[in-house]
Amino acid sequence: MDPLGARSQFVDIQSLPTWQQQTDEIDQQFLQDHNDSLDSQLAFPSPFPFMPEINCKIILHVGDVALLNCTAIVNTSNESLNDKNPVSDSIHRLAGPELREELFKLKGCRTGEAKLTKGFNLAARFIIHTVGPKFKAKYRTAAESSLYSCYRNIMQLAAEQSMASVGFCVISTTKRGYPLEDATHIALRTVRRFLENHGNSIDAVVFAVSETEEVFCVQKAAAHVLPRSEEEERVFLPLIPADIGNSEGEPVVPERQIRITEKPGTLEDESDSGEESLEIDLGQVGHHAFARMEGDVDKQRKLILQGQMSEAATQKQHLRNYNRWLCRARAEDLSDIAALKALYQTGVDMCGRTVMVVVGRNIPVTLIDIEKALLYFIHVMDHITHNHLDSDFLKNLYDIVDAKYKKNLKAFYFVHPTFRSKVTLNYIFVFSFFSFTLFNICSYNLLPC
């Protein structure tokens, strides 16, 4: 305890300006230089709109996180909770030896988890310990998911414990090798999404930084994720990274998503083998080689490029690929692309066919995510396209239906037949007693004799 009349070394967060109040940090020259391009960006909504009620809860502080007078502060450590880094060293020094004894009782912490201890001699009542991921380029996806889990679990723990304020340090330490700019973007977007969806009980979130590089990265990411005005929102919109995560800020990895189709097992199967049918059904559940049970996918792609796969196998591969994209299109939020009104239905032509219009000027190619635009195109066009009638259905129609229907069936009008359909129907016509007439019209007749 500080002597009577002595100035406390701890920082009262109530005296710190919020991110919304730090208007002096805005680069006015940058905003003025981009005023001419604002109108072209209005049609494309920002994934991080201006929300002053969120900005008023965010505080950027240059200083030691251990000195913050928050309900809880964050300590970044390793799996054994005995890491030696500037943040941990400062927290242990100020908290006292009791902290180390309590950490020993926790028996470690896994990467991405968050565990709670008392604050002891700190101004903060609690300490939330977490373990950031070790970064390697080839395991980037795993590192992003783990880092997201760190921030998400901390915020979740704070909400469950009814904490009014949380003080964050930079979780991805230099020792762990995570790129600072990428890590900062994940941190801010995860905290923002949590405050939007679940943060009613949390009054303040402080990001404490201590180095010049950290200050620059946090301010840059905050301008993208937490715009302080509508003008700033529009100007920084083109600079937002492509990967913004889902509605919770979590990194999205399509290859790891499990999608179940509306009617599993309805894909075309050109083989009568039950084993291959099972293979196709399983192909609807996952996207990786194990889920499809079809061996090495890279090897199959190589064979396709070399032209060594059969035409049937190639078509099946293309069909699987399309259905994977269709599943993604049905699962993802494409409202931002739909808002552009670049693709829409106007009616039908003289033959009753759907007419779709593409407005090129409504597509800001340099600003939108081209992959999401493709997903939206697939989502809109899929229900308009017509599926080809399976030849097995025609055979079963002749073999199964009652004889009186065969006698009444005078003509069958096929809709837009393909060359393959014509060959199939001609084959059936030769070996059956009922006639097919191929016309390029959209109807069929059942006429009495």
For the ranges 118-132, 242-256, 277-291, 339-353, the maximum mean pLDDT occurs at 118-132
Residue 434 has pLDDT above 90, yes or no: no
Structure tokens of 379?
């989502």
Where in the chain are all domains bearing CATH 3.40.220.10? 13-239
- With vertex at residue 40, the alpha carbon angle to CA 36 and CA 45, rounded to the nearest 5 degrees, is 125
Taking 60 as the threshold, does the pLDDT of residue 263 lie above it?
Answer: no
The confidence score (pLDDT) of residue 337 equals 79
Q: Which pLDDT belongs to residue 418? A: 64
208-212-216 Cα angle (round to 5): 80
Q: Give the closest residue to 57 by CA, choosing from 18, 87, 110.
A: 18
Task: Give the helix/strand (H/E) hosting 131.
Answer: strand 126-131
Q: Residue 206: what pLDDT?
A: 97
CA distance 220 to 164: 26
Give the model's pLDDT for residue 176. 84
pLDDT bracket for residue 24 (50, 70, 90): low
Q: Give residue 351's pLDDT band: very low, low, confident or very high (50, 70, 90).
A: confident
Query: Would strands 343-348 and 354-358 be described as parallel, antiparallel, or unpaired?
Result: antiparallel
Contact 9, 209 (CB under 8 A): no
pLDDT score, position 267: 47
Cβ atoms 184, 217 nearer than 8 A: yes
**For 293-334, how does the pLDDT look when each residue is reduced to its tens digit (9 = 90+)?**
445 555 555 555 555 556 667 677 777 777 777 777 777 777
Q: Which residue has the higher pLDDT, 175 or 119?
A: 119
* Cβ neighbours of 243 (radius 10 Å): 13
Question: 160-179: per-residue pLDDT in tens?
Answer: 999 999 999 999 767 788 99
Distance (Å, whole) CA 95 – CA 89: 10
The amino acid that residue 327 corresponds to is C
In this model, does residue 55 exceed pLDDT 60? yes
Give yes or no for residue 26 having a pLDDT over 60: no
| Residues contacting residue 437 through CB under 8 Å, at least 6 positions apart | 411, 412, 413
pTM for this model (two decimals): 0.58
Q: Is the pLDDT of residue 389 over 60?
A: no
Query: If you write DSSP's letter for every residue of 105-128 in order, what string do you get?
Result: HHT---TT-EEEEE-TTSSSSEEE
- In this structure, of 75-89, 244-258, 274-288, 364-378, the range with the lowest mean pLDDT score is 274-288
Of 274 and 349, the structure prediction assigns the larger pLDDT to: 349
**Architecture, CATH, for domain 13-239:** 3-Layer(aba) Sandwich (3.40)
User: pLDDT digits over 135-151, tens only?
Assistant: 988 888 899 999 999 99
The whole-number pLDDT of residue 395 equals: 63
Percent of the chain with pLDDT over 70: 62
When comparing pLDDT for 78 and 446, which is higher? 78
Query: In one letter, which amino acid is 338?
Result: A
Max intra-chain CA distance, the chain: 110
pLDDT at position 25 over 90:
no
The yes-or-no verdict on residue 269 having pLDDT over 50 is no
What is the secondary structure of 37-85 as a DSSP string? GSGGGTTS--SS---HHHHTTEEEEES-GGGB-SSEEEEEE-TTS---S
To the nearest whole percent, how much of the chain has pLDDT over 90? 37
The better pLDDT of the pair 358, 446 is held by 358
Q: Pick 438 or 72 by higher pLDDT.
A: 72
SS3 264: coil
Tell me the pLDDT tens digit for each residue of 77-102: 999 999 999 999 999 999 999 999 99
pLDDT of residue 194: 96
Distance CA(221)–CA(224), nearest Å, equals 5
How deeply is 149 buried, as exposed, middle or buried, from its count of CB atoms within 10 A (0-12, 13-18, 19+)?
buried
Q: In the predicted model, what is the mean pLDDT of the chain?
A: 76
Beta strands in 264-422 (DSSP E): 343-348, 354-358
pLDDT, residue 41, reads 46
Q: What is the mean pLDDT of residues 203-214?
A: 90
**Under a CB-based contact definition with an 8 Å cutoff, are residues 411 and 382 in contact?**
no
AA identity, residue 101: E
**End-to-end CA separation in angstroms for the chain:** 104
Please determine, for residue 197, whether its predicted confidence score (pLDDT) is greater than 50.
Answer: yes
pLDDT at 149: 95
pLDDT for the residue numbered 34: 56
